[in-house]
Amino acid sequence: MAGTQPNHNLIRQDTLTRLNTNARTRAKGHLSNKVRPVKKKSPISDKNRKIVLFNKPYDVLCQFTDDQHRQTLKDFIPIPEVYAAGRLDKDSEGLLLLTNDGQLQHKIASPKFKAPKTYWVQVEGVPTEDKLKALRQGVELNDGPTKPAKVKIISAPNIWPRNPPIRERKNIPTTWLEIIITEGRNRQVRRMTAHIGHPTLRLVRYAIGEWTLDNIANGEFILVKQDSMNAPSTKANKKATTSTKTITPSKPKTRQRRAKERLRIS
């Protein structure tokens, strides 16, 4: 009497089901062993929050260490545990904000929050209104179009002299522009002015959101008081921006002066 023949299709299907179930179980166990919940850091209290506004000189790196012994933030800011919110190129000058508050740092640096950044830009030549309009509407760069910017011609701001001075070509005038953007791409302002045929000769960041360079000498910093954290209105900030308030050059720091600053802060 012939025995009942096994259904090979059902066996194969049952085997595949067990393999898939075992694989999912192993994967679940593997992930549970490897992935650990990340503990979120508690927000910095107002009492412990540090906000430093630094007027960065030309030719200073936006970092605290350098293997090539070039000038860094460490040569100017003796405050521990603060980090730059965004960057400012070595060949650019002006406002740099540093903080120990990671959430504030992210809010300023991330384009998601659209924190406006105001630049005073000296360009070669005299841009026409059509070229300024192109910057206002957005120009096409190699990494995509820029967002609309606020751009206008301003008189030369009364600020510190750059060391070394810019290289100017004879018989070619220069123009100062005020450019306000909400992005933070690599060397964006320089690429924008080059795109319209007016290379940037000097670039000074005047403001980041509500914070400005007013009353901060080049190479100096201030520690923002907590009672002055509230942002001024856009109208008030705009007025300060267009006033081109005098910013006096700083005195060279001596070793004795830096040592005294460290003692005061510690």
Domains of the chain: 45-113+210-227 (3.30.70.580), 116-208 (3.30.70.1560)
Residue whose C-alpha is closest to residue 72's, from 85, 84, 62, 87:
62
Q: What positions carry a catalytic annotation?
A: 89
- Cα dihedral value 53, 57, 59, 64, nearest 10: -30
Q: What is the pLDDT of residue 87?
A: 86
Which residues on neighbouring strands pair with residue 153, listed in sequence order?
A: 177
244: left (phi over 0), alpha (psi -120 to 50) or beta: left
Residues 6+ apart with CB under 8 A from 33: none
pLDDT by residue for the chain (266 residues), tens only, comes to: 555 555 545 444 554 444 444 444 444 444 344 334 444 556 778 788 999 999 999 999 999 999 999 999 999 999 999 999 988 999 999 999 999 998 888 888 777 777 899 999 999 999 999 999 999 999 999 999 999 999 999 999 999 999 999 988 888 999 999 999 999 889 999 999 999 999 999 999 999 999 999 999 999 999 997 554 443 333 333 333 333 334 433 344 444 444 444 444 44
Distance, CA of 65 to CA of 43 (rounded, Å)? 27
Distance, CA of 179 to CA of 243 (rounded, Å)? 15
Q: What is the pLDDT of residue 3?
A: 52
Amino acid at 60: V
Q: What is the CA radius of gyration of the chain?
A: 28
The answer to whether the CB of 123 falls within 8 A of the CB of 199 is yes
Residue 230: phi and psi, rounded to 5, are -65, 135
Q: What is the pLDDT of residue 194?
A: 97
Distance, CA of 154 to CA of 122 (rounded, Å)? 10
